[in-house]
Chain A
């Protein structure tokens, strides 16, 4: 099995199980507060790591290139509460423009 298909299979099965745990198994009993506190932080921790690596990472090294211009401008768009799709298009366009002028 190729890598993408293996990921699709694992993540699909795991997500179905994760979504079903509360409604099917727990039947409405609350999670312990400490567990809930840790799970609630998965988004901030992993999304911030993904922002950092996808902006500065190049394989196993860190580089400063045209991406940082696009990401910085998209941050301005997000801070101004622009829709996600607009922020993404801003990032791609600015990065492409910066590359076109040789940055």
Chain B
């Protein structure tokens, strides 16, 4: 039987709790990275993409420039091009409706809406997106307030929270995928080798060259 909007809301509830916690981490870390109080919340409202937002905050916090922070974040969100392509045939309505529904698509709602045979359920996609969006934004706001109350972030080891978070996002993407493991190893190596040579933030952007190994994906 086709799943309904209500089924989507029910399925997303446990994920919403996790996303709220993720939003709180973003608020705390973005605040500690010197992004101020309002900018992190506006970023969660307009970008709605966790890993890209964390990357931007981490690079700015390290003293990286606008171009490096924005480029790394945009490249991390580039996966929403193919994700958007996969859901496009199933989105109803005119251009404005399709545009708005596309903004609510995130990794989690996309995964929940997948019917498993290349089809996507638009009601579950919408329900999951609508369930996750406010928790992400409100979580960020709560994190910013919490971050305001904390003293020097290194006392609490918050600087180690960033790499731990990126590691937690990375491992599920490479587990059991030899090509992705090689790309990750090459990306890390490029970034470390270039760190003494380039301005802060650019080595991470340069690590994107490792994605060219993906040209061979069709033969893998």
Contact = CB atoms under 8 A, between A and B. Distances in A.
Interface of A: 2-8, 10-16, 18-24, 26-31, 33-34, 36-57, 59-62, 66-67, 70-71, 74-75, 78-79, 83-85, 87-99
Interface string B181-198: 101111111111001101
- Majority SS of interface residues in chain A? helix
Contacts of B99: 20, 23-24
Nearest to B55: A50
B39 A8 contact: yes
A87 B60 contact: no
21 contacts: A3-B69, A4-B35, A8-B42, A12-B42, A15-B49, A19-B84, A28-B88, A33-B217, A33-B218, A42-B75, A43-B173, A45-B186, A45-B209, A48-B207, A49-B191, A51-B163, A51-B170, A54-B166, A60-B200, A61-B196, A70-B161
A30 B83 CA distance: 10
Interface string B132-172: 00000000000000000000001111111111111111110
Contact of B188 (A11, A51, A61): A51
Contacts of A44: 170, 173-174, 180-181, 183-184, 187, 210
A72 to B, nearest CB: 10
A80 B1 CA distance: 35
B74 A7 contact: no
Contacts of A7: 43, 56, 60, 66, 69-70, 73
B14 to A, nearest CB: 11
Contact of B155 (A49, A85, A99): A99
Contact of B75 (A46, A57, A95, A98): A46
A6 B66 contact: yes
Interface of B: 18, 21-22, 25, 34-36, 39, 42-43, 46-49, 51-56, 58, 60, 62-63, 65-66, 69-70, 72-89, 91, 95, 98-99, 101-103, 105, 154-171, 173-174, 179-181, 183-192, 195-196, 198-200, 203-204, 207-218
A4 B204 contact: no
A54 B62 CA distance: 9
A24 B54 CA distance: 27
A7 to B, nearest CB: 5
Contacts of A94: 157, 160
What 9 A-B pairs come out closest when comparing CB atoms? A22-B84, A37-B217, A95-B157, A91-B164, A12-B46, A49-B207, A45-B187, A70-B160, A49-B191
A6 B208 CA distance: 22
A27 B88 contact: yes
Nearest to A79: B171
Contacts of B188: 48-49, 51-52
A23 B88 contact: yes
Given A37-B217, A44-B174, A79-B171, A87 B81 contact: no
Contacts of B58: 50, 54
Contact of A78 (B85, B167, B216): B167
